[in-house]
Structure 1
Amino acid sequence: MCLGGLLTSDDDSALPGTFNDARTKWTSTHNPYSGTTYTVTAQAKGGAAAETMTFTTRTPADTFVGYFTPEAGSTSGVGMPVSVDFTHAVTDRAAVEKAITVTTDPQVEVVGHWFSDTRLDFRPEEYWAAGTEITLGLRLKDVEGADGVYGTQSKDVTFHIGREQISTVDLAKKTMTVRRDGQAIATYPVSGGDAEHTTWSGIMVISERFEETRMESSTVGLGDEYDIEDVPHAQRLTTSGTFIHGNYWASASIFGSSNTSHRCIGLRDTKGADDTSTPGYAFYESSMLGDVVVVENSGEDMVGPANGLNGWNLSWTDWQAGSAL
């Protein structure tokens, strides 16, 4: 009759469980993980030497993981959602969403919203408070996200929210006002999309930043209208190709007076991205991933909430309706 025992995995973590009253049967409190080697150590009645044995659980043939934004340990602006992109389409959304937690300090209600079978974003009702610490818990290992397809991750990652910066672009006035923690810190003249290439309106979040980058019209469905290999201080606002960026090729007189771009928001800048006196340089240096840019009076519809990290354009009721829980 077994008096005691221990079941540990190959990472030295114990699998919890309990004996029956007669201590002849031990049952784990949850299933062993797949693809894991376990060691059983048993002590028999009467002082006999402990015995050990090992076994390895099978690895699923089909698996998935979730790639998350922002990066672990990073600091982002107050508009940055927690976004998880899965490597396989999820059919059991409830099971997967239940296996993911987003907790914060200070505490705030955070709700998930499925944009597709492969994308699940999390956000609170309002922008994050400056200084918030966010912990993403992934307990996807052995969760069946689709028929015969199982998750492989069990980890916690933490990221932080920095200061609040919200910039409002008014394309009727051709200006952008930058507010830091509620106080206006700068106003820049800008040029937005022209009448044939209007800029999306609504709330947009900076999702990528490049000191210099190449922009080709063919990549956004505009044929061969432009190909600029060294666009300075470019910050992505949509997946479809909207940026706020420096512009050195247009006359300085257009900024603040005319909307002439192909949907992007331009600030005066110089070639080489090293002139610290320009608005393009100054705005880029003041920004971070997750900062909010609100576009008004553009003459265009509101940007789609899945076009970039722009779920703030959904009401809280509509956001909650996208949760599987």
Structure 2
Amino acid sequence: MNGRPISGASAHARKRAGRRGAKGLTAVVSGATLLLVAACGGGSDSGDGGGGKDGADAGKPSQAVVTIAPKDGADAVATDGALRISAAKGKLTEVTVKDPKGRTVPGKIVADGAKWSPERHLASGTKYKVHAIAKDSDGRVAAKDTSFTTLVPKNTFVGQFTPEDGTKVGVGMPFSVRFTRGITAPDAVEKAIDIKTEPSVPVEGHWFGNDRLDFRPEKYWKPGTKVTVTMNLDGVEGRPGVYGKQAKTLRFEIGRSQVSVVDVKTKQMTVKRDGKVIKKIPVTTGKPGYETWNGQMVISERLKVTRMNGETVGYGGEYDIKDVPHAQRLSTSGTFIHGNYWGGGAFGNYNASHGCIGLRDVRGGYDKNVSAAWFFDRSMIGDVVVVKNSNDKIIAPDNGYNGWNMSWEKWKA
């Protein structure tokens, strides 16, 4: 596209006018006067551009040519890969891409000014305006303005996430997203989720299957850490023809550190708050054949009372307790640490459960002085319970929010 001239009357035109004035005077003035007029004519000849090629070319249009794809007025444009901006016979100096709310698409000029590349995908069903400027080798400006509208997807997905916006959680809580459709473009989806922390700490994502993505640091969160998550999924093609429709920013905070260690052999749980032991509690864990998982487990759900039925976890009709008090979930498969009012003398003496960790309680859970109530009242989502010395294997990292059982190297891989 031809640019707009940026100068007024050319230095060349002023030069010609100056020479005509000098010629008319030489017929009537002396030689001394002629020298003076010639000197004045020489000053006019230099012009604003200093004379020469620059002055002569100042009135010409820029040779730079700006090209923008998609074409002006295009509709149903792809959200990724379709936006391309380049310059020929010049270099790009400014590119702005904005949506109707004035939000700019981040990008950068690359290839020594020949191209501009967006740093992320575009939102779906959105009209964008593009303004691009380039300069040729003589510094003359060419500009181009276009607009286009991205596609409106027929099939979409969202991410269902935890923890919730504005919550405070324990040091073991990852940021976990479960997608409503199986993802076949994991890199694009993961790139669209940005996590920043204060204080800063490296956070990496790990996929469990094609529908779940968890983020965590190498070690437990530092107490007091503030986490900001930007989910820029709107317009991401997560699988062919299926696009994200989510654009959300949320924040959560890490509370105090509480890590409780259950020793199956001694049948004791040691509760540590910010690294200091605050209580030791007698427990009962899984009996032979129903051993409790080993490993690091994160509290993911808290229920003051719940029903536990063996049929829901593959134990047939072995038990059906309709009023289990102070129950806190440790695994998706049904492992809880909970109050137990039927255990008699098991606590601290022998293991009698079907895999859960039982703490002494009373029916109805009304007594705040019993172990289960004490522990429940001092726990929060994201607290860690570690089980050791069980005859069972280590719990799978995706069975609950228990990715801490995976090494940092495997997590990043």
Under a length normalisation based on structure 1, what TM-score does the superposition of the two structures give?
0.85
Does 2:170 match 1:77? yes
Letter of the 2:327 counterpart: A
Q: 1:71-122, CA deviations, whole angstroms, 9 ceiling, x for partnerless residues?
A: 1110000000011111111111111111111111111111111111000101
Closer, same or farther: CA 32–315 of 1 in aligned 2, 3 Å: closer
Alignment check: 8 A CA contact 1:170 1:295 kept: yes
Distance in structure 2 (CA, Å) of the matches to 1:257 and 1:13? 67
Distance in structure 2 (CA, Å) of the matches to 1:57 and 1:89? 23
Alignment check: 8 A CA contact 1:15 1:28 kept: no
Greater helix share, 1 or 2?
A: 2
Greater strand share, 1 or 2?
A: 1
Q: Corresponding residue for 2:45?
A: none
Deviating more after overlay: 55-64 vs 81-90: 55-64
Q: Corresponding residue for 2:314?
A: 221
Closer, same or farther: CA 250–36 of 1 in aligned 2, 3 Å: same
Q: 1:167-214, CA deviations, whole angstroms, 9 ceiling, x for partnerless residues?
A: 000010000000000000010000000001000000000000000011
Alignment check: 8 A CA contact 1:201 1:302 kept: yes
SS in 2 for 1:254: coil
Q: Corresponding residue for 2:384?
A: 292
Give the length in aligned residue pairs: 298
Root mean square deviation of aligned Cα:
2.5
Match of 2:182 among 78, 86, 89: 89
Structure with more relative contact order (C-alpha pairs < 8 Å, separation 6 or more): 1
Alignment check: 8 A CA contact 2:262 2:269 kept: yes
Distance in structure 1 (CA, Å) of the matches to 2:106 and 2:394? 53
Shift of 1:35: 2.5
Q: 1:242-299, CA deviations, whole angstroms, 9 ceiling, x for partnerless residues?
A: 0000001221x11000100000000000111111110000000010000000001111
Match of 1:13 among 102, 106, 122: 102
Q: Corresponding residue for 2:333?
A: 240
Distance in structure 2 (CA, Å) of the matches to 1:13 and 1:2? 26
- Which structure 2 segments of 5+ residues have no match? 5-95, 108-115, 131-146
Shift of 1:2: 11
Seq. identity, %: 53
Closer, same or farther: CA 92–188 of 1 in aligned 2, 3 Å: same
Q: Corresponding residue for 2:144?
A: none
Match of 2:412 among 316, 320, 323: 320
Under a length normalisation based on structure 2, what TM-score does the superposition of the two structures give?
0.68
SS in 1 for 2:196: strand
Does 2:267 match 1:150? no
Match of 1:304 among 388, 396, 401: 396
Distance in structure 1 (CA, Å) of the matches to 2:97 and 2:410? 46
SS in 1 for 2:412: helix
Closer, same or farther: CA 217–268 of 1 in aligned 2, 3 Å: same
Closer, same or farther: CA 17–106 of 1 in aligned 2, 3 Å: closer
1:28-47 equivalent positions in 2, closer than 5 A: 33-36=123-126
Alignment check: 8 A CA contact 2:121 2:236 kept: no
Shift of 1:13: 3.2
Distance in structure 2 (CA, Å) of the matches to 1:38 and 1:227? 59
Letter of the 2:293 counterpart: W
Q: Corresponding residue for 1:195?
A: 288
- Which structure 1 segments of 5+ residues have no match? 19-26, 41-53
Distance in structure 2 (CA, Å) of the matches to 1:283 and 1:16? 49
Letter of the 1:137 counterpart: T
Alignment check: 8 A CA contact 1:15 1:32 kept: no
Q: Corresponding residue for 2:272?
A: 179
After the TM superposition, which parts of structure 1 deviate over 2 Å for at least 4 consecutive aligned residues? Answer: 6-10, 12-18, 27-33, 35-40, 54-58
Distance in structure 1 (CA, Å) of the matches to 2:371 and 2:283? 9
Letter of the 1:13 counterpart: G
Alignment check: 8 A CA contact 1:246 1:268 kept: yes
- Structure 1 or 2, whichever has the larger Rg, is 2
